[in-house]
Structure 1
């Protein structure tokens, strides 16, 4: 089974998928990176679509949707020297939303 997601035009509906931050200077790219990160994390933790979800049918990304934690300027992650503004993901170990894996 191959899971995939398609997120075209995440910046075209104000307030729907936009992050409100654009560390790269490109709001469309930064919004897309955030949504793809959310879906990628869910595909990893729920690879068959029926594994990891809570009693409300939320997967790990849904539990923390649009929760960005503390920002440092207009970003909250530095990966390979690049700035990103990404939502947190659920951690069972922390019993909450986190920006880094534990």
Structure 2
């Protein structure tokens, strides 16, 4: 099991990538958003954050294929990713155990 410091740093990196993903969608750069969604999904899965990985993978699917505008509303998938990031925040585990 990674140390709390490692978990915090990894989680912070995922949050930063998700923030860049959100900015890309706001700027209409959906190929960048797709790339970042898959990056977050892979990194989260490798780091042991399965909820984040799953939410990011679902968002990537919702954004659709490269080179095309999203075919469906992807906003709810952004919310699911934000919720997954919040739920996986290692600081929550510290408070729950009184550390």
TM over 0.5: no
The TM-score with structure 2 as length reference comes to 0.31
- Greater helix share, structure number: 2
Relative contact order: is structure 1 or structure 2 higher (C-alpha 8 Å, sep ≥ 6)? 2
- Greater strand share, structure number: 1
The TM-score with structure 1 as length reference comes to 0.30
